[in-house]
Amino acid sequence: MRARLSDIARQAQVSEATVSRVLNDRPGVAPETRQAVLTALDVLGYERPARLRKRSAGLVGLVVPELENPIFPAFAQIIESALAQTGFTSVLCTQTPGGVTEDEYVEMLLDRQVSGIVFVSGLHADTSADHERYRALVARRMPIVLVNGYVPGVPAPFVSCDDREAGELAVAHLVALGHRRIGLITGPARFVPVQRKVSGYKTAMKRLVGLDEAELAELTELSLFGVEGGEAAAGRLLDRGVTGLVCGSDLMALGAIRAARQRGLSVPGQLSVVGYDDSPLIAFTDPPLTTVRQPVNAMSVAAVRALVDEINGHAAPHSEYVFRPELVVRGSTAIAPTRHATPVAAEPAGPGSASLAVPA
């Protein structure tokens, strides 16, 4: 498809004359403006002229766990766009069960002589993993940035959402609605973000509801991330009379809604559910999901800036950048019922079931 100067100029917010100078590789254009025009070409789906393709500053590896959870494509898209604006081309490495491992991807990226690597929710988030792999990368002067997870002693920039505050925000919201029997559903305990969410949840429940550790243990269910894990954990907590659920991901929250519906319970009339992430399209589920939003855009841009600084020899602080989450209130939470709802016989999930590719 032939590029139209007017379309590119509008996208890059420059004049058509400036677009022409960039496309013809003429001098007199600021580097930031030139990059804005090239990014506009990419966004609009136009192919860069051959004379400009050599201008890539290099390749950057982007390692993500999987693409089924919509939060990871969201991270990948923004990181890729931010890298393009600095002249780098990303190489997306997606892990799947039984597929290429993180270490195998790293070897492939090193063979391609990448300039740096961004890890999103990788093995650095797993406390049971051997983190020497990251120290080895740093030792060979490979710039890396690690998103959502933290490893003490690894001299690299880390970028995380404040998961403790996320747990506290969700609990405080449900308590304000009159809920006291509030359960927590999240992933396996070995993950750093899970540990922090559990800590935030317990801190808020002790302060606002007055429960002790034994009571909180009864209200906490760790499961596999995903719809099925959320559904199974929610079923166990519904048997214990919860009226509110704090979930470790939006997909787990959709599983919790399905478990409630299969018991004939209404959401939010008899059970309020809070997710986590604010994944794309989650506002269009039935009911629209109340969730705690990760600031994906700000986190992604910070990760790219830190990596580019590392690549350019301007070492970014080797510490953890922690970003505040935001509570987004929608239709899956409401005032607590006057008494605990009594589950009724399960019935088939109908048109009112949680949508967004959640099978009945």
- 287-324: pLDDT as tens digits: 999 999 999 999 999 999 999 999 988 888 899 999 99
pLDDT, tens only, 204-246: 999 999 999 999 999 999 999 999 999 999 999 999 999 999 9
HSE, side-chain direction, 13 A CA sphere, residue 108: 13
| Percent of the chain residues past pLDDT 70, beyond the cut | 91
The amino acid at residue 163 is D
List pLDDT tens digits, range 68-120: 899 999 999 999 999 988 889 899 999 877 888 999 999 999 998 899 999 99
Model pTM score: 0.79
What is the CB-side half-sphere exposure of residue 137 using CA atoms within 13 A? 27
Tokens of 149: 């997870």
Domains and CATH numbers, the chain: 5-53 (1.10.260.40), 58-161+295-324 (3.40.50.2300), 163-293 (3.40.50.2300)
At residue 2, the pLDDT reads 54
